[in-house]
Every structure is written in C-alpha cells, then in structure tokens.
C-alpha cells in the first residue's frame, strides 16, 4: 500500500527526484505539503488546492482528536471524506503541539498528559500506541510516531535522554502499525550532531517506511538548521522518503532539496498570507505598506496564479486594511501557488540536470 521509488539523483548535489505511492494516490517528490491542521487548509477548498498543484496535505492528530473528535471522523471512514479531499494526507502525531503547550503538558515514559487548549481545563493522556491508533482512525496515508520535541536550547544530557525516549516510543508505535499506510520515524537530538546521528541510527534499525527530521525551527539559527539538514539527511536510507518537519522558508526548501530532503511542510505560506506577507521570486512584500496604495501591478509580474492574473497590489492592500475575508483567500492562493510552483520548478530542474542553475538564480535574485 505504501512505497517509494527513487527516480533520479542530481549530478552536483544530494537533490533527488522520487515517487511515493500511497493508498490515495501518487506523490512526486520533492514536494511541499500545505498544512491543514484542523481538517482544512485555511481559506481553501479541496478543488482549489488541486488546481494549485497540491498532491498531499497535512493534518494534525492532536487538534483533530480534541475537535471534532475521533467518533465523528470515524463515521465518515476517515479524514478524506470528512474534509472532501481524496488525495494523500499525512498526519502529525502532535509531538510539536505538546512541546508548544509547555507547562500545560507532562511527559512521562508512558506518554504525554496535557490540558486541552480548546476548553482550557480537560486533561487528556496519549500514549505512543494511542497516537498511532488516532492517526489510523483518521485513515492517514502517512502517520508519524509520537516523539518528544526538544526546546532550544537544551542540555546534552536532556537531549540524549529525550532521543532515547523517542526511540522507545518509536518501537511501541511500530508494534501497533497496521501495515495499511506508511509510518515515519522522527530523528531527534536537538542541535547536537552526534546525537542526531545516533537517533538516526536507532530509528533506521526499526525499518520505518520513511524518516523525518524533527525539532527544527524551534529557536535555533538558520545556520544550525541548515547544518543539521545537510549532515543528517545523507545518513538516512536512500530508498526511503526523507521529510524535514515544519520547514519552512523558500530558502529552507532550496537548501533542504540540495541536502536530499524529499518532503516539507510549513504554515508559513498560509499564515503569512492572512497577515499580508506575500512571496515572490525577488523576495517577500508586505501588502499593507503605503507604497502599494496606487500600485496597479500584480504581486509578481512573473506569477501566473489566479490572484496575479486578476488583481492589483492596490486592491489587495485595500482588502487587507479593510479586513475583508477575500484578502485571506486571494493572498493564500498566491502564496501556495508560489510554494507549489517552486517545487514544480525544482522537480523539473532535477529531471533536466539544471538544479544548480535554478538554485544559483534563486539565491541571486531574492532579497530576503
């Protein structure tokens, strides 16, 4: 039901072209996954996402477990029919969300106990086994193990204890895997490269269908993030997909692909769209700025998205300042088009042996 085929490797970097087969369809890699945390990619319909070239989206088991709950989603046979999306879905187990709860969460060997952010009082407990059962109820095509996401900075002793706990949880997750979908292990270890290597080694021994780099973009510098990606990714099995969780900026995508990463996700294109920050081939613009008050040009002259074909910067600025719902929709269409088209260009460049040219052109033109 789940497999990965490595189709081609770049001549000048670790970039690679691949294909993932899932129960709900194929995915061409490298790929960016729009984030649909609560069974929706904010402001977008399923048809619009398909039109933009989205091949897979991400849902979050933690949020969906709390609201609307597994009983309701199970009545639909899983997340696909519930949210009207028939293509592949990856679900995050909620390790990062648990990390973000801070004092409202308690981590033990058995699992995680936390206070609901929805009602502010109800306490819940999720074990590694339950995290997988929840994702299987969601009928995700790719499920993630329950891991412990470290804060930054963390001591080396705590990072070691944390990665060892993540490995033990990974073993427990593996035992309840139903074999109907892919399960990914998550490499932890903080910013300690030798611990990252050790975490990768331990997880490789468990023979997951794919591997992810977790605990990135939690406060460390971009230089550290990119160093971890470039050093740890090549350690992971060549015949399995590699996923950098929570990344990132367009630069993160370029650097990650060059390091051999196949899959990315981030809330940045949709969240920034709602806040009026728009991505272009020459850097980002903040549409509320007064400079765009009478600007008749599109966001990006070279972009062919629906928003750029039909609307001016002046109009988009007006919508943003007026707080209109259409602002979020048009901005999201543009930002997701930018991200997904960037990945399409990357795949094309690898296929035709010109990824280095695309990389150099991109880094030269951008200002952010």
261 and 314 part of one domain: no
The tally of domains found in the chain comes to 2
Q: Single out the residue in 266, 298, 324 at which a domain terminates.
A: 266
Residues 282 and 305 in one domain: yes
Asked if residue 314 and residue 237 are part of one domain, the reply reads no
Six-digit token pair at 42?
């904010």
Dihedral angle sign, alpha carbons of residues 91, 270, 186, 54:
positive
94 and 161 together in one domain: yes
Least confident of 148-152, 298-302, 327-331: 148-152
Active site amino acids: 92, 265
What secondary structure, in 3-state letters, does the chain show?
CCEEEEEEECCCCCCEEEEEEECCEEEEECEEECECCCCCCCCCCHHHHHHHCCCCEEEEHHHHHHCCCHHHHHHCCCHHHHHCCCCCEEEECCHHHHHHHHHHEEECCCCEEEECCCCCCCEEEECHHHHHHHHHHCCCCEEECCCCCCCCCCCHHHHHHHHHHHHHHHHHHHHCCCCCCEEEEEECCCCCHHHHHHHHHHHHCCCCCEEEECCCCCCCCHHHHHHHHHHHHHHCCCCCCEEECCCCCHHHHHHHHHHCCCEEECCHHHHHHHCCEEEEECEEEECCCHHHCCCCCCCCCCCCCHHHHHCCHHHHHHHHHHCCHHHHHHHHHHHHHHHHHHHHHHHHHHHCCCHHHHHHHHHHHCCC
Q: Which residues is 16 bridged to in the sheet?
A: 9
Q: Which domain holds residue 118?
A: 3-266
- The strand pair at 112-115 and 123-126 is best described as antiparallel
* Residue 368: pLDDT over 80: no
pLDDT above 70 covers a percentage of the chain that reads 98
Instruction: For 213-241, write each residue's pLDDT tens digit.
Output: 999 999 999 999 999 999 999 999 999 99
**pTM surpassing 0.95?**
yes
Q: List pLDDT tens digits, range 30-70.
A: 999 999 999 999 999 999 999 999 999 999 999 999 999 99
284 and 196 part of one domain:
no
Of 266, 282, 315, the position where a domain reaches its end is: 266
The rounded percent of the chain whose pLDDT value lies above 90 is 90
Q: Are residues 40 and 154 in the same domain?
A: yes
**pLDDT value of residue 364:** 85
| 350 shares its domain with 251 | no
Task: For residues 289 and 241, state if they share a domain.
Answer: no
Domain boundary among 220, 245, 266: 266
Quick one: tokens of 315? 């109009």
Please check whether residues 203 and 290 belong to one and the same domain: no
């Amino acid at each position: 039901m789940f497999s990965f085929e490595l189709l081609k490797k770049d001549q000048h970097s670790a970039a690679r072209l691949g294909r993932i087969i899932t129960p709900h369809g194929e995915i061409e890699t490298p790929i960016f996954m729009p984030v649909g945390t609560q069974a929706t990619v904010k402001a977008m319909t399923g048809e619009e996402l398909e039109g933009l070239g989205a091949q897979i989206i991400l849902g979050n088991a933690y949020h969906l477990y709390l609201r609307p709950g597994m009983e309701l989603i199970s009545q639909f046979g899983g997340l696909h029919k519930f949210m009207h999306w028939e293509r592949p879905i990856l679900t995050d187990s909620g390790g990062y969300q648990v990390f973000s709860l801070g004092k409202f969460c308690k981590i033990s060997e058995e699992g995680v106990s936390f206070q609901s952010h929805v009602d502010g009082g109800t306490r819940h407990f999720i074990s590694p086994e339950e995290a997988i059962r929840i994702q299987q109820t969601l009928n995700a095509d790719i499920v993630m193990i329950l891991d412990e996401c470290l804060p930054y900075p963390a001591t080396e002793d705590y990072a070691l204890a944390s990665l060892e706990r993540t490995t033990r949880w990974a073993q427990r997750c593996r035992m309840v895997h139903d074999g109907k979908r892919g399960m990914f292990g998550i490499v932890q270890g903080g910013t300690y490269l030798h611990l990252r290597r050790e975490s990768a080694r331990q997880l490789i021994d468990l023979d997951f269908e794919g591997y992810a780099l977790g605990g990135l973009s939690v406060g460390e510098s971009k230089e550290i993030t990119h160093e971890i990606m470039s050093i740890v990714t090549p350690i992971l099995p060549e015949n399995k997909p590699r996923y950098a969780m929570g990344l990132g900026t367009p630069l993160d995508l370029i650097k990650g692909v060059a390091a051999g990463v196949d899959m990315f996700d981030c809330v940045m294109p949709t969240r920034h769209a709602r806040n009026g920050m728009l991505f272009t081939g020459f850097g980002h613009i903040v549409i509320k700025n007064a400079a765009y008050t009478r600007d008749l040009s599109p966001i990006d002259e070279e972009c062919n998205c629906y928003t750029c074909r039909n609307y001016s910067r002046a109009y988009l600025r007006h919508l943003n300042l007026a707080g209109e719902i259409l602002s979020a929709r048009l901005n999201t269409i543009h930002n997701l088009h930018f991200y997904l088209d960037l990945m399409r260009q990357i795949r094309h460049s690898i296929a035709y042996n010109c990824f280095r040219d695309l990389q150099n052109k991109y880094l030269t033109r951008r200002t952010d």
